């Protein structure tokens, strides 16, 4: 499987999960989606990650973003692991976890990196838009837990900038000023973003309230 790139269509698949069988594209529907993988069940860093994502689920729900985890262990192990996650992380996991025993999904999404983690999946993250395009890819080593606040921030940025001719600057968070795309002329910027600020001819900022 060739490495997936930004803008590629996210491969479709059918898989067994802790919430029954799903067809990925059908399950995603008109929502955004986050697909994230884990090296194995009953591992310490993964336990904290799944718990963190569970506690943040309502924040992703507000952004019309579905969550889907994947691990190469069987669904029975997933259900037992969820009990541990709920107990130790003070949460209740309500999103599905794929039982990818044959590594079909892992291979489709190039999640197996033998030099890093033998047969286990590395910590991959894919953010997928409603048109099933890949908008973000992140790959962490098995030893490093992910920052899900950053993933939420990226979803905010992607949803704001998808159709609006703006981009978000470094360390941007929801509510801060955004950058006007260089493809927008000054004349059009005056119409679209009245009162925008010019720092340099190529660096123009506008309040997020002006983006509509």
Beta bridge partners, 66, equal 33
Domain match, 134 and 33 both: yes
Full pLDDT tens readout for the chain, 212 residues: 458 899 999 999 999 999 999 999 999 999 999 999 887 888 899 999 999 999 999 999 999 999 999 998 899 999 999 999 999 999 999 999 999 988 899 889 988 765 545 556 568 899 999 999 999 999 888 788 999 999 999 999 999 999 899 999 999 999 999 999 999 999 999 999 999 999 999 999 999 887 87
pTM, to two decimals: 0.91
Domain match, 130 and 191 both: no
How far, in Å, CA of 172 to CA of 154, rounded? 9
Q: CB-based contacts of 199: which residues, under 8 Å, 6+ apart?
A: 205
pLDDT of residue 82: 96
Domain of 195, CATH number, reads: 3.30.1020.10
Domain match, 90 and 174 both: no
Domain of 98, CATH number, reads: 3.40.30.10
* Residue 9 is assigned to a structural domain of this protein: no
Clarify whether 194 is annotated catalytic: no
pLDDT of residue 117: 52
Please name which of 95, 128, 115 lies closest in space to residue 19, comparing C-alpha atoms.
95
How far, in Å, CA of 212 to CA of 166, rounded? 10
* Residue 184 is assigned to a structural domain of this protein: yes
How far, in Å, CA of 72 to CA of 102, rounded? 7
Domain match, 19 and 94 both: yes
pLDDT of residue 3: 80
Domain match, 71 and 129 both: yes
* Residue 6 is assigned to a structural domain of this protein: no
Q: Catalytic residue, from 10, 15, 34, 46: name it.
A: 46
């Amino acid at each position: 499987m060739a490495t997936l790139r930004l803008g590629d269509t996210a491969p479709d698949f059918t898989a067994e999960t802790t919430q029954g069988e799903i067809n990925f594209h059908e399950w995603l529907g008109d929502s955004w989606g986050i697909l994230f993988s884990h090296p194995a069940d009953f591992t310490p860093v993964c336990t904290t990650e799944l718990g963190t994502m569970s506690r943040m689920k309502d924040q992703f729900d507000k952004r019309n973003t579905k969550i889907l985890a994947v691990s190469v262990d069987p669904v029975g192990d997933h259900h037992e692991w969820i009990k541990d996650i709920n107990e130790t992380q003070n949460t209740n996991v309500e999103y599905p976890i794929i039982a990818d025993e044959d590594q079909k999904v892992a291979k489709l999404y190039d999640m197996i990196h033998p030099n890093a983690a033998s047969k286990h999946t590395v910590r991959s993250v894919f953010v997928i838009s409603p048109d099933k395009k890949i908008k973000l890819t992140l790959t962490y080593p098995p030893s490093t837990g992910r920052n899900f606040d950053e993933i939420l921030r990226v979803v905010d940025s992607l949803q704001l900038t998808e159709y609006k001719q703006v981009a978000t600057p470094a360390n941007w968070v929801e509510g801060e000023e955004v950058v006007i795309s260089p493809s927008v002329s000054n004349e059009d910027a005056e119409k679209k973003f009245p009162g925008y600020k010019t720092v340099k001819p190529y660096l123009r900022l506008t309040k997020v309230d002006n983006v509509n």
